[in-house]
Chain A
Amino acid sequence: SYELTQPPSMSVSPGQTARITCSGDELGEKFVGWYQQKPGQSPVLIIYEDSKRPSGIPERFSGSNSGNTATLTISETQAIDEADYFCQTWDTFVVFGGGTKLTVL
């Protein structure tokens, strides 16, 4: 079955750029979505169709997808961006990545 691989964790300093990757076989040929989940809360869609932002999502969140890797980029990272981030695509069914815990310190 299709799998998406994310680094389990990463850290970034406030004001710096965080790049979270999501890898899968020929992932660039599929659409990818990204979700942010803070402790005790439901996931929130922050990127869909590789690079589109839903209404209300700050411009510092952006996405790209090419080859075997999709990337979520968070520019000028803030403390409030500390959360778990999940990528998601559709193969013959929904597939989520394992999630990346982003620490801002």
Chain B
Amino acid sequence: QVQLQESGPGLVKPSQTLSLTCTVSGDSIRRGGYYWSWIRQHPTKGLDWIARIYYSGTTSYNPSLASRFIISVDTSKNQFSLTLRSVTAADTAVYYCARQWDGSGNYFDYWGQGALVTVSS
């Protein structure tokens, strides 16, 4: 059973850097065949795909979002991470990590439970 678990601070001050980590169990990031993505959801809003990374380090980002995001992977720990610089209140959201099929449809078949991040002084 594939499981993903987000971890990180629940509260971040404006202008600081947010770091989130997703720990994967039941699958190996190094196996290939899947991308590993971050998606966020503002309160009572829709889903916004942020970025994805392959085990090799190949990345893609949503060009509609600010270029403040950096995604990285640590295959030795079976984890991938998201860094967001200079956070503002607009970054308050639930952040999900998810496994994304690297093929037709590029769908997300496993999701973490989500990490609520609040940006406030």
Interface residues of A (CB under 8 A from B): 1, 31-33, 35, 42-45, 48-50, 54, 86, 88-90, 92-99
Nearest-neighbour CB distance to chain B for A63, whole angstroms, equals 11
* Nearest opposing residue in chain B for A88, CB measure: B107
The docked-state distance in angstroms from the alpha carbon of A42 to that of B96 is: 8
Does B46 lie within 8 Å of A97, measured CB to CB?
Answer: yes
The docked-state distance in angstroms from the alpha carbon of A42 to that of B95 is: 10
Does A94 lie within 8 Å of B113, measured CB to CB?
Answer: no
Given contact pairs A1-B63, A94-B62, A97-B46, A54 touches B112 in the complex (Cβ within 8 A) = no
Contact with A along B107-119 (1 / 0, CB 8 A): 1110111100000
B48 at interface, CB cutoff 8 A: yes
Q: Which of A49, A54, A86, A93 contacts B46 (CB 8 A)?
A: A86
The docked-state distance in angstroms from the alpha carbon of A92 to that of B49 is: 12
* Nearest opposing residue in chain A for B101, CB measure: A48
Point out the residues of chain A lying under 8 angstroms from B114, CB to CB.
42
Total interface residues on B, using CB and 8 Å?
A: 25
Does B63 lie within 8 Å of A90, measured CB to CB?
Answer: no
User: Tally of A-B residue pairs with Cβ under 8 A?
Assistant: 64
Point out the residues of chain B lying under 8 angstroms from A95, CB to CB.
49
Nearest-neighbour CB distance to chain A for B117, whole angstroms, equals 15
The docked-state distance in angstroms from the alpha carbon of A99 to that of B44 is: 10
B47 at interface, CB cutoff 8 A: yes
B37 at interface, CB cutoff 8 A: yes
Contact with A along B11-53 (1 / 0, CB 8 A): 0000000000000000000000000010100000011110010
Point out the residues of chain A lying under 8 angstroms from B100, CB to CB.
94
Nearest-neighbour CB distance to chain B for A1, whole angstroms, equals 6
Does B104 lie within 8 Å of A49, measured CB to CB?
Answer: yes
* 3 tightest A-B CB contacts, nearest first: A94-B49, A31-B105, A33-B107
* Nearest opposing residue in chain B for A49, CB measure: B105
* Nearest opposing residue in chain A for B61, CB measure: A93
Point out the residues of chain B lying under 8 angstroms from A86, CB to CB.
46-47
Q: Which of B49, B108, B109, B112 contacts A93 (CB 8 A)?
A: B49
